[in-house]
Amino acid sequence: MTTESPRWFTSSYSDNGGQCIEVAANLATSLGVVPVRDSKNPTGPVLDIPADAFTSFVEGIKTGEFTRSFDA
């Protein structure tokens, strides 16, 4: 068991008027999860995302996998 506490952070790219999430990536190695929470509600619920799934999600964002195209 670990006694490590989550170290929450918001991306430096998050300057969108408060519509942000915070992650605690420091727990990925010790617990195998990346906790995610709403930055506007730090005492609210936390989702524990499996570290490998979170890594795949971030890679998908970087490669444009989730980009939607809209018809004009």
Which amino acid, residue 54? F
Per-residue pLDDT, 4: 84
Residue spans per domain, the chain:
21-63
pLDDT bucket at 71, cuts 50 / 70 / 90: low
Q: E strands of 1-72, at which residues?
A: 21-23, 33-38, 47-50
This prediction's pTM: 0.77
Higher pLDDT, 67 or 43: 43
| pLDDT tens-digit series, residues 5-63 | 999 998 776 666 667 889 999 999 999 999 999 988 989 999 999 999 999 999 998 99
Q: Which two tokens stand for residue 62?
A: 């970087």
Per-residue pLDDT, 16: 63
